[in-house]
Structure formats: C-alpha cells, structure tokens
C-alpha cells in the first residue's frame, strides 16, 4: 500500500476529513411565524433539502406554531406544497414520508400560556416518539416586537431550560433592533432567557457559498493577500441591488428603510470579511475576533452631506413594464419618508486600510438584481506606454459576485491584437456553475444545519450587532434632522439618485454598473 493510500484509509484521517458531511443529531425545530413567506419559500424547502441530502437524523421533528386552526395534517399539506414549489433538490417520496412522520402543528397566540404549554407537551411527545432527545431549536420568524413575549413564554413553559446532554437554541431573524439602544435592549431581553452561545442571529448572506469563498480566496491563496492593502487598493465597492419594488411589504419596510434593512447587517458583514486580518483558525471565536476588530476600527466618513446618499424610487419602466413608485405602492403613506436607496462611505482605520474608502450601497427598483464586492486597484503609472496606448484602460478590479451569477471576475489590461500597442480591459471569470458539478446549497440550508449542529461561525453575536449600529447611528441621526438634505427621487430602473454619483465622483471615482 502506498503512503497516500494509507493516509486515506487511516480512520483518524477520515474522522478529520472536512469533506465528510456533518449530520445533525437528534433534534426538533419549532418555527414561529410558520405561515409567512420566509417559512414557505425558504425554511420549509431548506429543511426538506437537508433531509434529501441525508443531513438530518431519521427522527427529526418539525413543529409549526401559528394562530391558524390547523391539524397536523393541514400543516403537513402546507409543508408539502412549499417543498414541491420551492425545494432545490428533486422530490423524493421516501424522504418526504420519513420527514412527514415528524411534522406537528400547535395552534396558539404568543400571549397565551396554554398554547405554550401545548407546545411543551408536543415536544415531549416528539422526544418520546421520534427520539429527538430534548434538543430543540426555536426559529422566531416574527416581528422583533414579539421577541420578548415569545422568549419569556418559552422560559415560563420550561422550554428554554436544558437537562444534561440536551440543548435549547433560539434563532432570530433581522432586523436586530432599529438603532444601538434598541439592539442593546433586544440583546439583553433575549440573553436573560438564552445564553449568548445559544442565540443564533440569522444573516442569510453569510450562508451563501460566494460569501464564504471570500475567506478561501484571501487565505488559501498566495496571489491576493500581498496586494490586499492600501498600497495597491484604491477603494472597495459593496453593492446589493434589487430590481423589485416593495408592493405588499409596507408593514415591514415602512419606517425601516434600505439602510437599516441591508447595510447594517449584510453589507457591514461583507465589509468585515473583506477587510479583516487572517484569523488564527476558522474556529468561531477566532473568526469573530477578527471581524470585531475591523468593525471596531470602522467609522462613517464625513461630512455626511457629501459621503452619504439616500433616495426613494418613483414610477418608471423596468423590464419592459411600467411600474409604480413607492408612494403608489399599497400600504405606503403618500407622505412616507422611507428611503428605498441608501449609500454610505466608510473608513477602516487600520494600518492595512488607512485612506481606502469603502462604498456601500443598496436599493430597490435599481437597474438589475445583483450583489457583489468589487476590490478596485490603483492605476499603474503606465511609464513605458504612450497615453493613447492606455486611454481605454480602466482600473484593475477583483469582483466577487454573490448573486445571482455566483463567481469571481478579475479585470485587467491586455494588448489588443494588431500591429500597434493598444491596451484595453479584459476579464477572467470563475463561475460556480461552470467549475463544479454540484449546485450550491441555499443559504438557509447551511445556516439551519449549523443551528442544529451548534456551529456559530456564520452568526453575528452581540458585539458585532452593536458595533454595526455604532457605525450607522450617526448617519441615521443626520438624516433625521430637519435641515439635512431632502430625500431624493430616482426613477425605477436607474441606479439611484444623483447624490449617489456625486459621493464617488467628488474624489474622481465612480460606481460600477454591474
């Protein structure tokens, strides 16, 4: 037997092989807000996909909690339809039947003690019938205002307390507060019932393969890290653009706005991954320590009237269809001041990044749906070239495409074929769909599995949430003043208000058009 063959057949080697899937142990997941779109389109399909991939235990339990007058069979039909419509993997009747045996439903309201007593009885029965072992995760897909009521009901019903060899975990959906003070109060309320190591704050962008690939790109390769600093990087752009409007979402979105909804969590987390130093290991504590250092060093650039932008979309044409403006969308007040576009400039005050602006933007009804991180490099001096040789050459850039076309693009200069020396931009492209035969799991698959495994690497903790609000609060306070710049309008299908272009062009830079 060769050495390499011996290595691959070594039981210790196999036990440590990171390519071997980690399968969740005995457990049950309770979903509050089970009748909402998130549950139907993302959570239920993700649970089925995990089961179909063999990553859930045979006796897994799924419990829905809602006000609907449903029996177990009614809820089972809802899950079945959601899986059929939205699951990523093909439908397998045998997998479905095994999953369906553990599906239960509890009718109730958040303020009703009896409902939570019934939930406790249901979970005890699952422990006995399905072997879920007292390991229960509670997914709060509900408005943040209901968090205190639910977590205190879980405590009162004995569902937050554990016996030896058991665990109880709570999963919280954003928004994590609406400012620093509310975030601290929310954290205090939740931590009074669940210790911080048992709290999992979902940021679904951190579950995306391309976001995790930022760490691989930076730290598994020697190619990029030597130039990943202010000596070579001119600026960084982080964009999350959506081409959809907000029809039907007024109840959630009005008064929150694009900046709180996306920049506070998704985009600042992406900034932390791009700017952080190499962690000692990818253990959760080491990874979080480096993110916290970066967020602690990050400040919003001033003056805010020049370094920030916000706007609200008006009606226009998009995708060949005429679409309404925000104020014509159902549920929004004609006087609504909610921004649907937000852009800010951040400074990372470390030796590596001093002087490099980080531009973050997000918006609805923009030119197209795309999320990307673009690291834009400084221009070369072009000393051996005539000005005409490089007049069509832009700046080198490395672009991580998070969605929808997941991959990485590198833009650099290349000679145009011919007798003259002429240099133009070209690209090299890596796409997940081209390079790997297996499709990427949905973000919620990875995150739900990590909850059941107790793997917290991809979940922001208290300090990360509070540091993000410390960065954002001064901007939100500035926008809230009576004498701040007016909320600008931008037409649907464009790339935001004029002030967004001004905030980059004032320093000779410009936004990418993905």
Structure letter (DSSP) for residue 207:
G
Q: What does the pLDDT read at residue 208?
A: 80
Question: Residue 105 pairs with which residues in a beta bridge?
Answer: 64
CATH number for the domain harbouring residue 449: 3.30.360.10
Q: What does the pLDDT read at residue 369?
A: 94
Selecting among 80, 86, 136, 266, the annotated active-site residue is 266
Q: What does the pLDDT read at residue 128?
A: 95
Q: Are 49 and 441 in contact (CB under 8 A)?
A: yes
Q: Are 341 and 243 in contact (CB under 8 A)?
A: no
Give the whole-angstrom CA distance, residue 468 versus residue 124.
39
pLDDT tens, residue by residue, 413-457: 877 887 778 777 778 888 877 776 566 678 899 999 999 999 888
Q: Which residues participate in the annotated binding site for substrate?
A: 204, 208, 242, 261, 364
Give the whole-angstrom CA distance, residue 52 versus residue 87.
10
Same domain, 285 and 410: yes
Q: Which residues participate in the annotated binding site for NADP(+)?
A: 67, 174
Residue 497 in any domain: the answer is yes
Q: Give Cα 280 to chain centroid, integer Å.
A: 24
Q: Which residues participate in the annotated binding site?
A: 67, 174, 204, 208, 242, 261, 364
Residue 182 in any domain: the answer is no
Tokens 């809820």 correspond to what residue? 75
Which structural domain, as residue segments, surrounds residue 99? 27-173
Greatest alpha-carbon span in the chain: 84
Q: For the whole model, what pTM was predicted?
A: 0.89
Give the whole-angstrom CA distance, residue 306 versus residue 140.
39
Is 266 catalytic? The answer is yes
HEC states along 360-422?
Answer: EEEECCECCCEEEEEEEECCCCCCCCCHHHHCCCCCCEEEEEEECCCEEEEEEEEECCCCCCC
Nearest to 337 by CA among 474, 473, 476, 471: 476
Six token digits for residue 272: 């932390």
Give the whole-angstrom CA distance, residue 343 versus residue 497.
10
Give the whole-angstrom CA distance, residue 508 versus residue 194.
49
Same domain, 120 and 242: no
Q: Give Cα 81 to chain centroid, integer Å.
A: 26
Which H or E run contains 425?
strand 423-431
Structural domain count of the chain: 2
Q: What does the pLDDT read at residue 20?
A: 54
Average pLDDT along the chain, 514 residues, taken 10 residues at a time: 37 44 90 92 95 93 95 94 94 94 96 96 96 96 89 96 92 88 93 94 83 90 94 97 87 86 94 96 90 97 96 91 91 90 98 98 96 93 73 85 89 80 82 70 89 88 94 95 79 95 95 90
Same domain, 231 and 109: no
Residue 19 in any domain: the answer is no
């Amino acid at each position: 037997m060769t050495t390499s063959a011996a290595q691959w057949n070594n039981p210790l080697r196999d036990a440590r092989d990171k390519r071997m899937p980690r399968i969740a142990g005995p457990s049950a997941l309770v979903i509050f807000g089970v009748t909402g779109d998130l549950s139907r389109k993302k959570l239920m399909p993700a649970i089925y996909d995990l089961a179909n991939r063999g990553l859930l235990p045979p006796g897994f339990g799924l419990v829905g909690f809602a006000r609907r007058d449903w029996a177990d069979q009614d809820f089972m039909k809802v899950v079945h339809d959601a899986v059929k419509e939205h699951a990523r993997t093909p439908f397998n009747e045998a997998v479905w039947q095994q999953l369906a045996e553990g599906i239960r439903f509890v009718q109730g309201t958040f303020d009703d003690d009896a409902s939570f007593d019934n939930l406790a009885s249901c979970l005890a029965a699952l422990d006995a019938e399905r072997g879920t072992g007292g390991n229960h995760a509670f997914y709060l897909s509900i408005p943040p205002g209901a968090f205190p009521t639910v977590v205190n009901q879980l405590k009162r019903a004995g569902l937050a307390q554990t016996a030896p060899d058991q665990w109880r975990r709570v999963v919280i959906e954003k928004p994590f507060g609406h400012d620093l003070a509310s975030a601290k109060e929310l954290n205090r309320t939740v931590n009074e019932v669940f210790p911080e190591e048992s709290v999992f704050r979902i940021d679904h962008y951190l579950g995306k393969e391309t976001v995790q690939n930022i760490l691989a790109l930076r730290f598994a390769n020697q190619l990029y890290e030597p130039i990943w600093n202010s000596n070579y990087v001119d600026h960084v752009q982080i964009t999350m653009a959506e081409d959809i409007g907000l029809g039907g979402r007024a109840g959630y979105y009005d008064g929150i706005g694009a900046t709180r909804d996306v920049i506070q969590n998704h985009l600042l987390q992406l900034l932390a991954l791009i700017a952080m130093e190499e962690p000692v290991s990818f253990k959760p504590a080491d990874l979080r320590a480096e993110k916290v250092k970066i967020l602690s060093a990050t400040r919003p650039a001033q003056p805010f009237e020049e370094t920030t932008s916000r706007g609200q979309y008006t009606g226009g044409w998009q995708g060949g269809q005429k679409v309404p403006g925000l104020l014509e969308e159902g549920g929004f007040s004609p006087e609504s001041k909610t921004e649907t576009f937000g852009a800010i400039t951040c400074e990372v005050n470390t030796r590596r990044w001093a002087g490099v602006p980080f531009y973050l933007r997000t918006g609805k009804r923009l030119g197209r749906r795309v999320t990307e991180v673009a690291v834009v490099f400084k221009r070369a001096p072009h000393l051996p070239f005539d000005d005409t040789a490089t007049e069509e050459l832009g700046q080198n850039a490395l672009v991580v495409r998070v969605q929808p076309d997941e991959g990485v693009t590198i833009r650099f200069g290349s000679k145009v074929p011919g007798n003259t020396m002429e240099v133009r931009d070209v690209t090299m492209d890596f796409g997940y769909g081209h390079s790997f035969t297996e499709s990427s799991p949905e973000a919620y698959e990875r995150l739900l599995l990590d909850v059941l495994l107790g793997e917290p690497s991809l979940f922001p903790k208290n300090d990360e949430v509070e540091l993000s609000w410390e960065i954002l609060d001064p901007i939100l306070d500035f926008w809230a003043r009576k004498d701040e710049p007016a909320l600008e309008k931008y037409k649907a299908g464009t790339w935001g208000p004029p002030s967004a272009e001004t905030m980059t062009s004032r320093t000779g830079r410009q936004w990418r058009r993905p």
